[in-house]
Amino acid sequence: MDTLVAALPDYLLFNRDTTLQFTGGLFWIFFGLVLAIDACLYKKSAWRHAFLMAASLFFYYKTSGLFFLLLLFTVTTDFFIARRIAASANKSRRLSWLILSLVLDFGLLFYFKYAYFFTESANELFGTQYHVFNWLAHWGNSFFSGDYFTVSKIILPAGISFYTFQTVSYTIEVYRGKVEPVKRLTDYGFYVSFFPQLLAGPIMRATDFLPQLYKPYSLTKHQAGLGIFWILNGLLKKTLLADYLAANFINRVFDNPSLYSGFENLFALFGYSLQVYADFSGYSDIATGVALLMGIHLVQNFNSPYKARDVTDFWRRWHISLSAWLREYIYIPLGGNRRGSAGTWVAIAIIGGFIVMLSRSWAVLAVLSILCAFIVLMSWLIPAVRQWLHTNLNLLITMLVGGLWHGPSWNFIIWGALNGAGLVIHKTWRMICPWKNVHNGLRHAAGIAVTFTFITFTRLWFRTGTGTTWDDFDAAHDIAAEFSKGQAMIDQIFLRMDWSVAPAVMSAFAPVFALFAAGMAIHWLPQSWKRRYRHRFASLPVWAILLAVMTTVFLVYQVQSANPHPFIYFQF
């Protein structure tokens, strides 16, 4: 007992080795305690929300240390700003408060996520030699009279992109009059910091989450069974599928693509498509299950995306909460597919600035300026060009913003641009396709195959722009190295493809190939089948559900490596 008490402070203090990850036992001890206390408070909403906000802040502290103060600052400022917006009758004053909120939220996001990028790019463009100095950390140390924050580098707080988008959606919806501002800071803090989806979504818009705060808590046995199913499903996706494929094949090839044949590079690329889906949707499944056990329904974030028949269908199925956010707060305000707007050209200028800084060349600025002037002239002279711009320009901008949201890298720019181009090409093809009214199994299967292949090859740029270890989270992207690594993989696939090695590779890595095939087969099962076995699981007797839990826990710990892989989207 004395040993347990002596060790307790280590588990209460921030330590990267004891973070509260879904795949670790410490999280489930934490969740069990939270669930037990929540069961005593569920009839008293004010106390319940205050407790869950405090528990969520502790969860974030265990994940990101003193960055929980940054989260608390964002919660507090946006709470009071939203109340000022709602209380102001003057439209210009309401807009001023909204702009202040957006500047604070996006200012912090840009500071932590893009400081290295802007500093390094400015040094190249202007011949300066500025060094990154963490002014927020410096001011924090002065305020607290100690060396609590590192001033020599800027560390990216986990989940900042996700909770920033949630706070922005709340302020905008209050400004639009679609949401009444919450009355208690703890209610708003609970919404922003709710720990199951805090680090990697789904991104809950205020209109989806806040009404649930004031409904009576209810949890039937069937709902509890569904919650447990989603948790087990997510754990198996993450550990048995995503992490196993990554550790035993994918990471090796991506680390040194030139050492492997074109066939191995190709399979690693398709394997990564399954890995990133299993990893990210696995997190969403666990978050959904944990939230459901607490009486909160999260929005669906994935809907079997590799069943998509075209690129448009894919983006309705993949990371649904982010796609919906980008559509609601960027694509539609810019004018959608009806028209361009002043915001369209402002967005083009901002994205152009990013591209210039990425290239670190004034020549690129000159080329972009000439290109924009040419397009504007053509759209003025030729109505068809103008219509094309109105239909597609805002869509391309939205996808480029989605790419930049992931990080300041050429690879993310390329990834976003490729997906934007895919959407534009599909929309154009749909208008002229001679078989658009033909519906049969062969055309459906061909659409799925083409879409999956296209999405998989765009993942090459996503993967080589992404770090997946804790050490990578603190560092700026090495853009040249990332780009060359992607190019090396393309060279292997298209210039050094050797199908003759396929039998030997498949034999040597038989478990990996079998697991990939099983994962894809389950993914492609009809939705009605999946719905049926989910509800049958939820209807099982308690002893059978407990047996499934113990079996899953056993499997997870059998396949889990000594150093568990963080969820890929934690770095965004």
Whose tokens are 């459906």? That residue is 444
Distance CA 236, CA 279 (A): 10
The answer to whether 195 and 73 have CB atoms below 8 angstroms apart is no
Q: Can you read off the two tokens belonging to residue 1?
A: 């007992």
Helix (H, G, I), strand (E, B) or coil at 376: helix
Asked whether 431 and 481 are in contact (CB, 8 A), the reply is: no
Q: Tell me which of 406, 477, 523, 565 is the catalytic residue.
A: 406
Give me the phi and psi of 464, to 5 degrees please. Answer: -80, -5
Are 515 and 244 in contact, with CB atoms under 8 Å apart?
yes
User: Considering only CA atoms, which of 120, 530, 88 is closest in space to residue 302?
Assistant: 530
Which structure tokens are listed for 137?
């950390």
Residue 171 near residue 101, CB atoms below 8 Å: yes
Helix (H) or strand (E) segment spanning residue 344? helix 342-359
SS3 335: coil
Angle at CA of residue 321, ends 317 and 326, nearest 5°: 100
**Residue 196 CB-density burial (10 A; 0-12 exposed, 13-18 middle, 19+ buried):** buried
Give the span between the Cα atoms of 230 and 221, in whole angstroms. Answer: 14
Whether residue 157 is preceded by a cis peptide bond, meaning omega within 30 degrees of 0, is no
Which whole-number Å values give the CA distances from 288 to 34, 66, 296, in the listed order?
16, 27, 8
For residue 559 the two structure tokens come to: 């396949």
Q: Terminus-to-terminus CA distance in the chain, angstroms?
A: 40
Is 406 designated active site? yes
Closest CA to 230 of 279, 285, 282: 285
Q: Do residues 201 and 322 lie in contact, with contact meaning Cβ atoms separated by under 8 Å?
A: yes
- Provide the annotated active-site residues: 406
